[in-house]
Amino acid sequence: MKEVEKITKNLQVEENAYVAVFLTHHSKASKILDEIERNARCLFKNYKPTTLIKDEVKFFDEQADIIIKAALPSARTPEKEREEMLRIQDRMEQEIEEQKETEGKSEPLERELRRAI
């Protein structure tokens, strides 16, 4: 249980987050869920809960134009976005093919280690 506690206290580490998701999905032990819940409650204990009243979201209202411009750049058209995505996809597929070619040429021990992982 010490390991679970260590993992849940360090969920900012990507590997720990994946392990926690795996454990919660596959384990029937309620202690794991209790540990995650306890850590979640501690995360924001120094902050009061928000009610999302007008005064609390005022900052977002004031910044709405900036946020919209950042999220939706006007210089890009859907066609340009699509072309860029296709270019990236082509490059990724090419890299995968190159990786497959080099994997076939690896040493037997290296191949077995990769399979084990």
In a domain, 50, yes or no: no
In a domain, 52, yes or no: no
Q: Note whether 63 and 111 are same-domain residues.
A: yes
Q: Read off the pLDDT of residues 73-109 as tens digits, 9 standing for 90 and up.
A: 667 788 888 999 999 999 999 988 887 776 656 676 6
Q: Read off the pLDDT of residues 25-72 as tens digits, 9 standing for 90 and up.
A: 898 888 888 888 888 888 778 888 888 888 888 888 888 888 787 777
| CA distance linking residue 33 with residue 39, whole number of Å | 10
Residue 23: name the closest of 12, 32, 35 by CA. 32
Structure tokens at 36: 């995650």
Q: Note whether 72 and 29 are same-domain residues.
A: no
Domain assignment of residue 26, given as a range: 2-43
